[in-house]
Amino acid sequence: MNIMPPAEDLARSPGGKCPDGKSSPDTVLIAEDDPIFRRVLQTWLQKWNYRVTALDDGADAWHALQQDDCPQMAILDWMMPGLDGIEICRRIRRLKKGPYKYVLLLTAKGGKEDVVAGLDAGADDYLTKPFDVNELRARVRAGKRILELQDALMKAHSELQFEAAHDHLTGLWNRGAIMDLLHRETQRSARIGEPLGVIMADLDHFKQINDSYGHPTGDAVLQEVAHRLLESVRNYDYVGRYGGEEFLIVLAECAPSDLIVTAERMRTYVSEKPFDTNSGSIPVTISIGVAAQRLLGSELRREEELVRAADTALYCAKANGRNRVEQAPGICPGDSARTAAGQQ
């Protein structure tokens, strides 16, 4: 069978990355020191619309396969300078990060023991030289199918992970996730001695909004509140939906004075412009309680204590007239209590 390729564009791809830098099941790295075989493989694969990186040295191939956007399929010659294909296989399988790499070992050794050794080293399949073009095509296609399946599984997995940690309605962290994040940040800030703050926000008279305009409009209001809260914080702060119309915000490395400023910005941002909904324009306000991990003279070591302190301050904000910010005692020196809408 004639294995010579029809096309004559045989330029060697620049080493390391696949040509457009993006990894996908149709990217293939060829490592083959024999220029004829390398050229044949490269040209056929390109003809079948694979994006190819072709290298002639095992050490270069191993380097390329460790890059973030490296090809997902590797066709490796067994005998090569630098590193042989078997050793590259072993190293690929020891790599713990990145998506699965499909390895097709190319060898002149056709003995059963060699094939077993190749598969044992981590190859998914093998091809003996000289190979039949149709067989090459079928085996590469089988590899691509497995990689596509792998991609679909990873996508489903990350979607599930997202759903498990996020609130459906608002897209914010859900209660479990925000409490996990708070736990992590509480431990971290206690360890490194950085300030940590939490803000608990609750919509005012939200039941009335539901009662007056209906549940779907209530939902839209919750979504817009979530949006405005997100807009009010630094992009490395965590905003979660703690309960029905309660939000918990975790602010790492945030000095107490900034914490109060942020809470006030949230309150203002929610209340300053009425919400534009399908049921018309609706004024919305929130009440806020603020607590910090390191209060004057004491430290709240557990996340539950922090949440409780913020919740107690929130309760005060409600009791003191709503649409206001109250602090847990001891956050700022000499600052006994509160800021509120138009009445400091």
Report how many residues bind Mg ion under the rule CB under 5 A: 9
Whether 148 is catalytic: no
Q: Does 77 bind Mg ion (CB under 5 A)?
A: yes
d(CA 134, CA 150): 24
Q: Does 205 bind ligand GH3 (CB under 6 A)?
A: yes
For residue 176, which amino acid is it?
G
Which residue stretch of 135-143, 186-194, 197-205, 295-303 sits at the interface with ligand GH3 (rule: CB under 6 A)? Answer: 197-205
The contact mask relative to ligand GH3 for 140-179 (x = CB under 6 A, - = no) is -----------------------------x----------
Q: Does 203 bind Mg ion (CB under 5 A)?
A: yes
d(CA 126, CA 141): 13
Q: Which is nearer to Mg ion, 62 or 206 (CB)?
A: 206
Q: Does 311 bind Mg ion (CB under 5 A)?
A: no
Q: Does 222 bind ligand GH3 (CB under 6 A)?
A: yes
Terminal-residue alpha carbon distance, the chain: 89
Among 35, 244, 280, 321, binds ligand GH3 (CB under 6 A): 244
C-alpha torsion 139→142→143→149, nearest 10? 180
Q: What is the CA radius of gyration of the chain?
A: 30
The contact mask relative to Mg ion for 24-63 (x = CB under 5 A, - = no) is ---------x------------------------------
Instruction: Let me know: does 195 contact 293? Beta carbons within 8 Å.
Output: yes
| Residue 15 CB partners (closer than 8 Å, separation 6+) | 53, 55, 60, 63, 64
Please pick, among 185, 245, 264, 303, the residue that the annotation labels catalytic. Answer: 245
Instruction: Let me know: does 17 contact 67? Beta carbons within 8 Å.
Output: yes
Token pair listed for 230: 């997100």
Instruction: Let me know: does 104 contact 139? Beta carbons within 8 Å.
Output: yes
Q: Which is nearer to ligand GH3, 130 or 216 (CB)?
A: 216
C-alpha torsion 221→292→326→213, nearest 10? 10
Q: Work out how close the CB of 84 gets to Mg ion at its nearest, in angstroms, rounded to a whole number.
A: 8
Q: Does 202 bind ligand GH3 (CB under 6 A)?
A: yes
| Cβ-based burial of 248 (10 A; exposed 0-12, middle 13-18, buried ≥19) | buried
The contact mask relative to Mg ion for 146-185 (x = CB under 5 A, - = no) is ----------------------------------------
Q: Give the active site residues.
A: 245
Residues in contact with ligand GH3 by the rule CB under 6 A: 169, 202-207, 210, 215, 218-219, 222, 244-245, 318, 322
